[in-house]
Amino acid sequence: MPGVAPTLADTPPLIELRGVTKVYGTGAAAMHALRGVDLRVAAGEFVAVMGPSGSGKSTCMNILGCLDTPTSGTYLFEGVDVGALDRNQRALLRRHYLGFVFQGYNLLNRTSALENVELPLIYRGESAATRHDRARRALASVGLDGWEDHTPGELSGGQQQRVAIARAIVTEPAVLLADEPTGNLDTARSREIMDLLTTFNREHGITILMVTHEADMAAYAKRVVHFVDGLVESDKQRERTVPA
């Protein structure tokens, strides 16, 4: 209607799951990790995914990140059926559209911060000059200008997670998938990391899906999806979020 601003509900989803299931094993040993999940995420959203251990939230994130495939159902990314892609095509989707941040940082221990951040660009075949420039800018964007030559062993936990975030955003992904990104950090460092994620969401438009057990970290998100027993139990927009 003229004069009416569009809402997220009116916007075609960036990500959509339709009736997605995931079963591990067969017969009596079968474990139903997902039991028919429906989920829509619009571009630019910041979504916290919560739930008890074994609820299916990490399985769902692995499917969204093309690290696993559904047993049944449909996963659409920008309208493309991801299930119809072959392994190489899914790898290209990960490489060009997705960034990952994990609880354990997953940095190469004997490699400098700069070289760690360059890794995704190496896989994309970027030149050395381009890799160096973009990695330096990514490190500066997370407050690590001047720390390029330090190895993970020379960095604090919070600094290591900043390097991991720089590595995740150096490719300018459409979506950042964060799995317990503050799980190994104290409260002050956790807030610093959440402030960074919020800034990338608000100022750069990166869509963020974050698994967390911590309600105070989920408070930074605009929306909270709660999993229980392989299903979405609740999906709520937050009226207020923690300011960056």
Instruction: Parse the chain into domains and list their residue ranges.
Output: 44-69+87-237
pLDDT tens digits, one per residue of 9-54 = 556 899 999 999 999 999 889 999 999 999 999 999 999 999 999 9
What would the pLDDT profile of 129-158 be if each residue is shown by its tens digit? 999 999 999 999 999 999 999 999 999 999
Judging by beta carbons within 10 Å of its beta carbon (0-12, 13-18, 19+), is residue 6 exposed, middle or buried?
Answer: exposed
Is residue 7 predicted with pLDDT exceeding 70? no
Please give the C-alpha separations between residue 68 and each of 73, 193, 203, 231, in angstroms, as whole numbers.
13, 27, 30, 17
Instruction: Give 156-206 pLDDT, tens digit per residue.
Output: 999 999 999 999 999 999 999 999 999 999 999 999 999 999 999 999 999
The CATH code for residues 44-69+87-237 is 3.40.50.300
Would you say the pTM of this structure is higher than 0.85?
yes
